[in-house]
């Protein structure tokens, strides 16, 4: 009898891995951890990143920096828009993961995903405008052509918000890479699944490997290595909920004078208009002088 009835299909469970240098490795430590939904039910296993994973991710980000920062702003904008396009196609999956991880109702999760997609579109438009808004020609008192332009800072380590697993993540990630930086992102520890899915989108959106490297794991374990790493130029502490740890990380970051975005109120409203502060935080200003004459 049983052979005539179609059996219920056994689901293929996914392994959630890291994203480093455009590839999806497991943690070199071989470790993983259990991710639960908002009600405490098992969702999946995710890779538990180690110090070595963080170092590998920094190497990948540094390697990608030259190429990514040298792309035309137009091209970076095109790629960011492509991220939005590819995300749109996987909207349902994001909604499921956000709803499960954050315990949101379907409509709320949909709103968060839609806003995340739209945020990529917003930043895509910024790529070739930020130079005009922040750059200048400077009317110096002498026969010189003098202009200032923003340039990316380099490799940025980002501690993504813990609560808002997708919209919060996109809100801190997109401004960093829009302007030509590359980054190592530590996803929300308890809600990492939308972040891993986002890396699958990034990997198929013409974003060069290494521009975004995403680790899943524990902030107190991984963040100190990023904060103390001499080849990291900037640190976004947004996802540190422990103030004492944030202070320690800030202190470690002083060793090579990393640019900082300090820890912010973690209940902040990610749906609010982002403004350009998160872009300017990771930009340097270069001023060039040249004599004028005949």
- Report in angstroms how near the CB of residue 115 gets to another protein at its nearest: 22
Of the candidate residues 259, 264, 266, 268, the single one contacting another protein (CB under 8 A): 259
Of the candidate residues 91, 144, 200, 208, the single one contacting another protein (CB under 8 A): 144
Of the candidate residues 6, 272, 290, 294, the single one contacting another protein (CB under 8 A): 290
* Cβ nearer to another protein, comparing 19 with 123: 123
What distance in Å separates the CA atoms of residue 77 and residue 104, rounded to the nearest whole number?
A: 31
Spatial contact of 195 and 214, defined as CB atoms under 8 Å apart: yes
Assess 132 for contact with another protein (CB under 8 A).
Answer: no
Of the candidate residues 112, 172, 212, 246, the single one contacting another protein (CB under 8 A): 246
- Report in angstroms how near the CB of residue 227 gets to another protein at its nearest: 10
What distance in Å separates the CA atoms of residue 20 and residue 55, rounded to the nearest whole number?
A: 10
- Report in angstroms how near the CB of residue 248 gets to another protein at its nearest: 8
Partners of 261 in the β-ladder: 236
Cβ burial of 113 (10 Å; 0-12, 13-18, 19+) is: buried
> Cα angle at 7 between 4 and 12, to 5 degrees?
155
Tokens of 70: 């040298």
Helix spans in the chain (H): 51-70, 73-89, 91-102, 106-126, 130-134, 167-178, 193-203, 219-228, 243-253, 277-280
- Report in angstroms how near the CB of residue 19 gets to another protein at its nearest: 27
Residue 188 DSSP class = P
* Cβ nearer to another protein, comparing 37 with 236: 236
Please name which of 206, 161, 196 lies closest in space to residue 18, comparing C-alpha atoms: 196
- The site for another protein, by CB under 8 A, has a size of 38
* Binding-residue pattern over the window 152 to 171 for another protein, x denoting contact by CB under 8 A: -x------------------
Partners of 290 in the β-ladder: 145
Residue numbers of the site for another protein (CB under 8 A)?
133-134, 136, 138-142, 144, 146, 148, 153, 233, 243-244, 246-248, 250-251, 253-257, 259, 262, 277, 280-281, 284-291
């Amino acid at each position: 009898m049983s052979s005539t009835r179609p059996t219920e299909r056994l689901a293929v469970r996914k392994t959630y891995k890291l994203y480093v240098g455009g590839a999806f490795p497991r943690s070199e430590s071989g470790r993983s951890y259990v991710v639960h939904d908002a009600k405490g039910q098992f969702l999946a296993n995710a890779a538990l990143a180690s110090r070595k994973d963080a170092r590998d991710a920094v190497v990948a980000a540094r390697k990608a920096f030259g190429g990514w920062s040298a792309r035309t702003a137009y091209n970076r904008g095109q790629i960011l828009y492509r991220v939005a396009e590819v995300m749109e196609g996987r909207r349902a999956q994001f909604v499921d993961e956000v709803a499960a991880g954050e315990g949101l109702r379907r409509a709320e999760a949909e709103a968060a995903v839609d806003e995340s997609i739209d945020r990529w579109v917003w930043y895509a438009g910024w790529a070739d405008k930020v130079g005009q808004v922040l750059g200048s020609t400077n009317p110096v008192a002498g026969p010189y052509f003098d202009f200032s332009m923003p340039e990316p800072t380099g490799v940025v380590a980002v501690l993504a918000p813990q609560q808002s697993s997708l919209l919060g993540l996109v809100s801190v990630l997109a401004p960093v890479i829009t302007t030509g930086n590359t980054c190592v992102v530590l996803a929300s520890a308890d809600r990492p699944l939308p972040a891993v899915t986002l890396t699958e989108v990034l990997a198929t959106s013409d974003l060069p490997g290494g521009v975004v490297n995403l680790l899943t794991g524990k902030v107190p374990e991984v963040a100190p290595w990023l904060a103390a790493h001499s080849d990291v130029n900037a640190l976004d502490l947004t996802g540190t909920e422990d103030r004492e740890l944030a202070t320690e990380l800030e202190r470690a970051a002083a060793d090579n004078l990393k640019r900082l975005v300090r820890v912010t109120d973690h209940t902040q409203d990610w749906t609010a208009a982002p403004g350009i502060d998160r872009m300017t935080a990771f930009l340097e200003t270069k001023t060039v002088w040249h004599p004028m004459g005949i």
